[in-house]
Each structure stands twice: as C-alpha cells, then as structure tokens.
Amino acid sequence: MKALSGTLQQFFVISVTLSSLCFSYNEDDCCFRSFTPTTATPCPNESIKDRILELANDRETVDWMKRIRRIIHEHPELAYEEVETSKLIRHELDLLGVSYRWPVAKTGVVAEIGSGSPPLAALRADMDALPIQELVEWEHKSKVDNKMHACAHDAHVAMLLGAAKILQELRCRLQGTVVLIFQPAEERGEGAKDMIKEGVLENVEAIFGLHLVHAYPTGVCATRAKEFLAGCGSFKATVSGKGGHAAIPQHAIDPILAASTAIISLQNIVSRETDPLDSQVVSVSMIHGGTAVNVIPDSTTIAGTFRAFSNKRFNALRDRIEEVIKAQAAVHRCSAVIDFSGKDNPTIPPTVNDENVHEHVVRVLREIVGEENTKLAPPFMGSEDFAFYLDKVPGSFLFLGIHNEKIGAVHPPHSPYFTIDEDVFPIGAAVHAAFALSFLSNFTTSV
C-alpha cells in the first residue's frame, strides 16, 4: 500500500470527472453475450455518465436486478454455504459473456471484464445470509426456516451483477480490467481473508465496495476519508480460583468476585483512560459461573467485545483489556487466561479509506447522484470485513441509503423485519460501474 502511494498521488492530481470522458460503444462489438474485446473500433462521442445512467435505469435491467435479488432472498445461504447463490451468479455471468473463476474461497466467484491486462480495479459484493427467522410478510419472503438476508447481501450481489452488465456493454471503453469479487462469509468475518489468500487482489490498484443502510434516504451516499468503520475484536477470559461452600467463603478463593471487579475496571478503560474525542468501546456481554446458590465455583468466564478506529488504538485496547483482567484476578488471589482468537467472532481491523481513492469516489458520486446526495458520513462503530482488502490495497467503502417509510424500509440490518427499497438498484449499479470506468481511465492517463 505504501509503495503505491506515490503513483496514486500523482495520478489523482489529474482531476478528470465522468462528464468530461466519452464512452466507447459499438452495437456489434460490445454486446452482452460476446466476450471478445475490441479496441479497434472508434466509439461515438457521448457522455459516459449519461450512458451509464441510461443503462442502469433501463427498465429491463432494473427488473432483472430485482428478479436476481428476490431469488437469492427466497433461498438464503449462510457463510460458505452459498452454493445456489454462486450458481445463479455464474449463470448470469455466462449469459453476459463475462469470464470468471470458481470456486474461490469455497463458494466465491471472481469475474473479469476488460482487456485482461493491468491496470486492475476491483469491485466487491458479499453474498451470505444470517441465521434469522424472517418476519416480513411479502411475496418473496425467505423459504428457509431460520435463515434470512437481513443485511442486504442479496441486493449487493444484484447491484454488482448490474454493474457487470453495464461494464460489459461499455467494455471497449475500459482502459484495463475490472475484477468483480463475489465474496462468501462476510458475516463470519472470514470471507475477505480467504479470498485474499487465493489471490483476488493480485495486481489490483484499487478496490471499491458499498453497503446499503437505513441511516440515509434512498439514493443518498455517505462516506469519509481515513477511519470510517471501527475494528472489532472479542475476548473470553476464564478466571480461576478455588471452589468451596458459600457459607464458609474463607476456605475458598472466589472467582466470581474477581471477575466482577474485572468487569468494573474494564469500563474504566474507556471512561478514564482514553480521549473523550477518540471513540472506543469495551463491552462485557457474557458472564457465566456457578451451578448452585450455596457453592462458590472453581472458575468464572466473562466475554465481550472491543472496538476502535485505528490499528494502533485497537491493539493498545486489546493489551489493556488483558492487563486489567489479569491484574484484578491477581488482586483476589485468582489467575486468568484470556483468549482473543475469536473462533466464533474473528478479529476485524478498522475500515480505513484511502484518501486519494476516497476523493475519486466523491467525484464519481457527485456526477452520479449529485452534490446534494453526497454526504460526509460520521465514523461508525460497526465493522466490515472489507477492511481486510483495504489493509492490502488502496480503496474506499461507502454507505448507500435505502430508508423509505412508505414501504416500511426503516428497520436496521440484522432485524427480522429488515426491508430494503429496491429503487436503489440502478444507483448502486451505476456507482460501481462509474468508479471502475473512471478510475481506470484516470490511472492510464496519469502513468
């Protein structure tokens, strides 16, 4: 990432907006079902922004994206189980004439559009569902008990396929290659890491991703440079003492007391040891100890989560949690073993947007959704495994609003009442496509 910064700074000085570019299009050479690229045929002078929006808002394309999303929604699949979702994605890519490789990270799909040569720009969509019973009564309700797309990943897939359709139509304008990443297991916090291990970021210059949210009205985009989403870690501590009869506590060493004081001290880390303007969280959300009211147990277990907006502060918070728990255990003559491995809740680093790529994204948003619908997002304490990509290559992540009270799209992600406004689909597809086209054009011009 550091090695690329100089080049990025140079090419981003060249401010080329979408409206100043023209797209390459030929009815015979750039059709959906042909994958043979062409660069020889000149393309008409036409605003690429207008053409992207025209393609994205085409009624047939919009209905196609909705159909794909609804099929996926009716058949939700959990992390690394996305077999039918992956099959549907591959089927649609075949119809578009887009080449891909599969399987990647068990169920993932990685497609390419363009020349097949550098530079490369990547677009990512996650595709796993959640173990939630859907309570929304509608025609396309989940048909699988206790599984639901309650975090819009079905919509993310549909919009990225929409972008693939646009980019395939305009591929003769691509000055490089667009990599489309359909990723499994985001909810497990492992999918991005596994995709990276299988080389999806090889030679990629920048990556872009988005997430639908209810914090903003439909069509409003919000993002920020640098620290955007918090890093997320979990801890589990076993405090061990000496069991005994509760009526004669002097013969026991009480781990419940030690764990209780540790919990109180952990709350002091944020309230008394960190800058009030530097948001951090430490929450103990589980405690278990004892099986009878008159018996002091041998051990007690506590567990929780911690969050921060930079890797430095995140790691410092982790170290301090371990120090506090062990020290409080020692004060009460107990010992403590702390596990940060997060087997069920993997550690996810902060989502940090590259400043130069962020500036480029903002220019794209102003062209596609307008200045009035391009917002500065506040830091958000939630986390996203897109952060693993940003640890490897420059990139940017944003929120795309879907709040619409008229249709009941008001419930947050991970709610059994989660509903989205499907009118957002052409916007999401257009933003994806516009980022890739303009990034590759700018990069090629600057090198």
Same domain, 225 and 100: yes
Q: What does the pLDDT read at residue 414?
A: 96
Give the residue numbers spanning the domain of 53: 48-229+351-446
153 is in an annotated binding site: yes
Domain assignment of residue 97, yes or no = yes
Q: CATH no. for residue 261?
A: 3.30.70.360
Q: To the nearest whole percent, how much of the chain has pLDDT over 90?
A: 83
202 is in an annotated binding site: no
Same domain, 312 and 357: no
198 is in an annotated binding site: no
Q: Is the dihedral of CA 302, 306, 312, 317 positive or negative?
A: negative
Give pLDDT tens digits for 47-56: 789 999 999 9
pLDDT band at 22 (very low <50, low <70, confident <90, very high): very low
Give pLDDT tens digits for 322-363: 999 999 999 999 999 999 987 777 899 999 999 999 999 999
Is residue 196 within 8 Å of 108, Cβ to Cβ? no
Give pLDDT tens digits for 113-169: 999 999 999 999 999 999 999 999 999 999 999 999 999 999 999 999 999 999 999
Beta bridge partners of 120: 177, 204
Domain assignment of residue 37, yes or no = no
Same domain, 291 and 322: yes
Give pLDDT tens digits for 139-155: 999 999 999 999 999 99
432 is in an annotated binding site: no
Q: What does the pLDDT read at residue 444?
A: 61
Task: Enumerate residues 6+ apart whose C-beta is below 8 A from 345.
Answer: 189, 232, 234, 305
What distance lies between CA 108 and its chain's CA centroid?
A: 15
Q: 135: burial class by Cβ within 10 Å (0-12, 13-18, 19+)?
A: middle
Give pLDDT tens digits for 248-265: 999 999 999 999 999 999
Domain assignment of residue 169, yes or no = yes
Number of domains in the chain: 2
172 is in an annotated binding site: no
Q: CATH no. for residue 399?
A: 3.40.630.10
